[in-house]
Structure 1
Amino acid sequence: MRGLRPLRAPAALVALLGALLLLGGPSAYAHSALKDATPGPGAKAAPGTDAVSLTFGPLKSGTTPKIGLTGPDGAAVAVGRPVTAGGSVVCAAVTPLVTGVHTLTYTVTSADGDTSSSAFQFEVAEVAEPAAVPSGCQGLSLSAPAGDDGSGTILGLGRTTALIVLAVAAAAVGGGVLTARAMRRAPSSRRKGAAL
């Protein structure tokens, strides 16, 4: 019987830890982790896909989830205002997607008030099946992505590319103006030197 006494303390500790885990489990589960997505992490979608759907645990009523999307060139893809359906499905219209790897970011508030953010990537490829409205989003009125009217582009180029092109053009024009001024001043300074 003496040999069993030292085992009582560790056994009680293990039982206590197990009870704490079981009691703490439901509150941790209440946080809204991503359960499903269309297109989902690592999935392939068809070119022209124009809506995304994310399914979570229960979300806090009255909050608006945030969804961001980056295209294969690193430029932001326009996303419409997200709509929540059934308390856990978030849908948003996006500018029709082009081939390449896209990164989707999201921020949601769970029913218990905790906010969680994360991101995942998916690929748009020619081999994928034709784009369809995700089932959780069918029948919803999704607002058009901001920038579909061209406001997300400058001179028909993505915002980042256009800004680089404009900066290079401005530097070239500025350099040309300085060169022209320097050339105009050069002959007059020679004349002054010759007259002395």
Structure 2
Amino acid sequence: MAGLDARRRHAPADPASEPTGALRVSGIAAWTPGASALYLQLIRFAGGIRQNAAHAIHPDHPMFSLDARLQADTLFIGNLSFCRVLLMNDTRYPWCILVPQRNDIGEVFELTQQEQQQMWSESTLVAGVMQRLFDADKMNIATLGNVVRQLHIHVIARKTDDDAWPAPVWGRHPALPYAPEQARAVTGQLAKALEEHWRA
């Protein structure tokens, strides 16, 4: 009987008999409080699953939260090293918004010098891509924050025949949202053009 007990102790466990979410290390099932949540996070990262634009989780920005108005008015494109890139849901203008992934920041000077440099570097990167993709006559880059306090940078491709030219785009006309197929096309085009710069 002692030999049988020893074999049972060292035999591989039946996966079906283990608790859901148990972690297996070197063939041994280890169950600890919170293991299920950790297991799900590991699967998300390993599979490259993108979280929704409001609460994406990444080791560098684990608690970043997007302002609710930005969330409602934009479409998610991707995450660069420092900024989240969004598409304004308005077909009148090719219009991206970059949001530095830092909470409780409303002004550029509240960022560190290194963060400021990274933010402008990513803004000019996106502006250059948009100028080429949309054959813009002029790129508008601005940070306002009068309505949405969370720091964000507008990068807008302007044409001399667009609906607001030569005035600024803000407050000129109500937004014309993208149809689903248009949204997929434009976000896909921008995502493809920036693919080598997305954060892994």
Give me the TM-score of the superposition, normalised by structure 2. 0.30
The structure number with the bigger radius of gyration is 1
Considering Cα pairs closer than 8 Å and 6+ residues apart, tell me whether 1 or 2 has the greater RCO. Answer: 1
